[in-house]
Amino acid sequence: MTVQDTITSNHQDIISACQLSTDETTGGALAVTTPVDGSVIANVHVHSVEDADAMIAKGVEAFKAWRKVPAPRRGELVRLLGEELRAEKENLGRLVTLECGKIYQEGLGEVQEMIDICDFAVGLSRQLYGLTIASERPGHTMRETWHPNGICGIITAFNFPVAPWCWNAALALVCGDPVIAKPSEKTPLTQLAVQKICDRAMAKFGSDAPEGLIQSLIGEREVGQALTASKDVAIISATGSVPMGKAVAADMSKRLGKTILELGGNNAMIVAPSADLDMALRAIVFSAVGTAGQRCTSLRRLIVHEDIYDTLMPRLIKVYAGLKVGSPLAPTTLVGPLIDQGSMNQMNKALEQAKVEGGKVHGGGQTLAADYPDAAYVSPAIVEMPEQSAIMHTETFAPILYAVKYSDLDEAIALQNAVPQGLSSCIFSTDVRETEEFLSAVGSDCGIANVNIGPSGAEIGGAFGGEKETGGGRESGSDAWKSYMRRQTSTVNYSRELPLAQGIVFDI
Ligand code: UN1
């Protein structure tokens, strides 16, 4: 057996451990390559627009039944899903690693995020609270109730092929909405594996889980467009690039459908003079090179106070030079490959542009090409920039960390906020005046603003999402569930009079 054969056979073991049959993974039109070595690991079947429409029709029927199932009972399905995920954590985590290239620890972390949101959603299924409101009229009461809203279409990206599906699906299901997933065409296998896990949970749950409650739609853009075009898909929750989100928003606005958009980030860290630099260093490295810089929350911009710049930067550059890049399946690897060579080309272009704009590049470039000629392993790059120039305003989905100096906090906050995206941000400082200003109304303009931790790796308990070109949507914890329901305001008159609001007199 050659080395190549060993790699290939291991890959097939990982796929079959997720109980995907060869019928499902061979003979289809969509070739799936693994970023581990660039080889084709499956050919999956794609759905047509007609298939998508048929799924939507099934979802419509499922909704009619599911909305009548009491929410705590709906929660029971999500509880079972969480249990199946616990049992499958290692297998699914490994498949995430194989299909999208993040290291196995992060693959496991992604599945843990699914389990966590399931637990959250189970509790939530008994807490879909409305309001009672004081009426201005005698003998009247007002209340607000949250009702199921209809099918939720979930469009996800290659970099987090399973967790964002679950943030949306777990909430949507307890809220009474059927779900149809449209994963990235680069990562359909993980979605097929998740569908299998859901099917098992539904079988255990019993007959009040209607057919068509949880479905997966595999294909390219046009099947996604079938979801955005259909008035029967009440909500589209889309995670991915800004151009994708703008296209979804344009389609949805034509029919005034609801959207939850979680798009690009261009996340910064301000490192203040009082920062604990040992902690900052660890946070910088994890958030800038984790998932090979392919998280929407990845750290992309470092805004360092001029007094500590010359202390921090050489240490950081040294740590970068020693980072272990390699197969994401190997336990000692910290930086896996980029998703494909197209991404590597984007990274190289951005680094060239940064040089033109005066940047001094440390690291970067393809590595391990001899071992993996068809993959896209790169050395993470740090670029010292003379100022926050044009390239720093764009999101390149790769491990590039730009660094600039600042001299006063207001300037640093202005730099942090000057980009079009508004997802995540953070400050390292032990000065409470600085940290509180950063979190105040004149501080970070992002959906996520952290103190003394990096911008990535959010827990599921908080609402997740951001402002400006990030799209404004919120998923996951807090009260994000409200986006999956429709709000009904009801006024009930239990008196024998008919007083009008605002004291209007209207005698007939
Ligand atoms: C994404 O990259 O699309 O906060 C999601 C984080 C993860 C989610 C990232 N919990 O980095």
Q: Are 237 and 154 in contact (CB under 8 A)?
A: yes
Residue 163 lies in a domain: yes
- Residue 286 confidence (pLDDT): 98
Residue 502 lies in a domain: no
Q: What is the CATH number of the domain that holds 206?
A: 3.40.605.10
Taking the alpha carbons of 140, 145, 147, 149 in that order, is the dihedral positive or negative? positive
Alpha carbon distance 168, 398 (integer Å)? 26
Question: Cα of 459 to ligand 1 centre, how many Å?
Answer: 9
- Residue 1 confidence (pLDDT): 42
Which residues are within 8 A (CB) of 90 and not within 5 positions of it... i.e. 6 or more apart?
108
Ligand 1, atom nearest to 297 Cα: 11
Q: Cα angle vertex 291, ends 288, 294, to 5°?
A: 75
Shared-domain flag, residues 208 and 273: no
Residue 338 lies in a domain: yes
pTM over 0.90: yes
Q: Which of 262, 395, 437, 469 is an active site residue?
A: 262
- Residue 9 confidence (pLDDT): 58
Q: Tokens in use for 71?
A: 């929410």
Residue 496 lies in a domain: no
Q: What is the pLDDT along the chain (508 residues), one digit of tens a residue?
A: 444 545 555 899 999 999 999 999 999 999 999 999 999 999 999 999 999 999 999 999 999 999 999 999 999 999 999 999 999 999 999 999 999 999 999 999 999 999 999 999 999 999 999 999 999 999 999 999 999 999 999 999 999 999 999 999 999 999 999 999 999 999 999 999 999 999 999 999 999 999 999 999 999 999 999 999 999 999 999 999 999 999 999 999 999 999 999 999 999 999 999 999 999 999 999 999 999 999 999 999 999 999 999 999 999 999 999 999 999 999 999 999 999 999 999 999 999 999 999 999 999 999 999 999 999 999 999 999 999 999 999 999 999 999 999 999 999 999 999 999 999 999 999 999 999 999 999 999 999 999 999 999 999 999 999 999 999 999 999 999 999 999 999 999 999 999 999 999 999 9
Q: Which amino acid does the sequence have at 221? A: R
- β-pairing verdict for 381-384 and 360-363: antiparallel
Pocket perturbation via mutation, ligand 1, pick of 111, 296, 475 by most ligand atoms within 8 A of CB:
296
Structural domain total, the chain = 2
Shared-domain flag, residues 390 and 455: yes
- Residue 8 confidence (pLDDT): 55
Shared-domain flag, residues 310 and 445: yes
Residue nearest to atom 6 of ligand 1 (CA): 457
Shared-domain flag, residues 191 and 271: no
Which residues are within 8 A (CB) of 401 and not within 5 positions of it... i.e. 6 or more apart?
284, 288, 293, 299, 300, 301, 302, 380, 381, 382, 383
CB of 25 closer than 6 angstroms to any ligand 1 atom:
no
- Residue 477 confidence (pLDDT): 97
Residue 493 lies in a domain: no
Ligand 1, atom nearest to 460 Cα: 10
Shared-domain flag, residues 25 and 172: yes
Taking the alpha carbons of 65, 70, 73, 74 in that order, is the dihedral positive or negative? positive
Residue 255 lies in a domain: yes
Shared-domain flag, residues 251 and 370: no
- Residue 349 confidence (pLDDT): 98
Shared-domain flag, residues 200 and 273: no
Residue 7 lies in a domain: no
Alpha carbon distance 283, 126 (integer Å)? 37
Question: Cα of 241 to ligand 1 centre, how many Å?
Answer: 13
CB of 466 closer than 6 angstroms to any ligand 1 atom:
no
Shared-domain flag, residues 243 and 346: no
Residue 372 lies in a domain: yes
CB of 159 closer than 6 angstroms to any ligand 1 atom:
yes
Q: How many helices (H) and strands (E) does the chain have?
A: 15, 21
Alpha carbon distance 371, 369 (integer Å)? 5
CB of 476 closer than 6 angstroms to any ligand 1 atom:
no
Outline where DSSP puts E strands in 272-369: 299-305, 360-363
SS (H, E, C) 168-219: HHHHHHHCCCCEEEECCCCCHHHHHHHHHHHHHHHHHHCCCCCCCCEEECCC
CB atoms within 10 A of CB 354: 24
Q: What is the CATH number of the domain that holds 389?
A: 3.40.309.10
The yes-or-no answer on residue 262 being catalytic is yes
CB of 287 closer than 6 angstroms to any ligand 1 atom:
no
Shared-domain flag, residues 199 and 283: no
Shared-domain flag, residues 239 and 281: no
Shared-domain flag, residues 387 and 400: yes
Question: Cα of 160 to ligand 1 centre, how many Å?
Answer: 7
Shared-domain flag, residues 240 and 318: no
> Containing domain of residue 51, as a range?
14-263+471-488
| ipTM beyond cut 0.90 | yes
Write down how long the chain is: 508
